[in-house]
Amino acid sequence: MFAIYLKELNAFFSSLIGYLALGVFLLVMGLFVWIFPDTGVLDYGFASLDMLFVTAPWVFMFLIPAITMRSFSEELSGGTFELLATRPLKDAEIIIGKYLAALTLVLFSLLPTSIYYFSVYLLGAPAGNIDSGATTGSYIGLLLIGSTFVSIGIFTSSVTRNQIVAFVLAMFVCYIFFDAFERLSKLDIFYARVDDIVEQTGINAHYTSISRGVLDTRDLVYFISLNAIFIRLTHLVLQSRKW
């Protein structure tokens, strides 16, 4: 598993993919949080990083599928999966190795934004006037969203040999879970019947809850199960060669 993890991480950073993903993420975040007048912290007047936490999931929705699209599609189309599968490695180890490598990249992309936190912390009047609890919660929420998107991306990558198909599919599934469920819950047919269940199926409801700085077990269980489901589905797809 560790061998796979290292190989994947090396692949990100020995090619452009890793730097590109990190660079684009930080650039877009920087623009939204500091430069754009409509959304920037400086014009907003409040010491909060809300803009970062609202925008980041949407950027993740594009970038994470781009990171994960090659994970299995490339191995399947290049035939290297056959070699991986005939080495003393369990399918689960291959999946987890790839999953953790992509998650590490997501973590790396979030780390530099801690500078934003310290800047806003110092800019507050008086300094330090920022809701640190909510910020920590939001970071944890972002990381959980990132991990969910990674598991979705790895799953769609295992379904197809075509990286573009994997990318588009991953973006679509990520969107469905992040935003579509919440919007669907407002449909009349769900109203006052199952609207809360539909809303809770989506990611945003749980993200909002965690962002308040309260780490509810229900939200944690939701994210962990969603990750587990997609990793399990990937495992099923890989095992299907044996059917």
Distance CA 158, CA 70 (A): 9
Token pair of 149 as six digits: 């998107």
Instruction: List, in order, residues 6 or more apart from 164 with CB less than 8 Å away.
Output: 69
Nearer of residues 33 and 67 to another protein, judged by Cβ? 67
CB of 16 to another protein, least distance (A): 11
CB of 102 to another protein, least distance (A): 17
* Binding to another protein in span 174-233, by CB under 8 A: none
Nearer of residues 82 and 216 to another protein, judged by Cβ? 82
Binding mask 69-98 for another protein (x = CB under 8 A): ---------xxxxxx-xxxxxx--------
CB of 104 to another protein, least distance (A): 17
Q: How open is the CA angle 147-153-155, to the nearest 5 degrees?
A: 105
132-159 burial string, b = 16+ CB within 10 Å, else e?
A: eebbebbbbbbbbbbbbbbbbbbbbbbb
Instruction: List, in order, residues 6 or more apart from 59 with CB less than 8 Å away.
Output: 24, 25, 28, 29
CB of 107 to another protein, least distance (A): 22
Distance CA 4, CA 6 (A): 5
Binding mask 9-38 for another protein (x = CB under 8 A): -xx--xx-----------------------
User: Which residues are at the interface with another protein (CB under 8 A)?
Assistant: 2-4, 6-7, 10-11, 14-15, 78-83, 85-90, 241-242
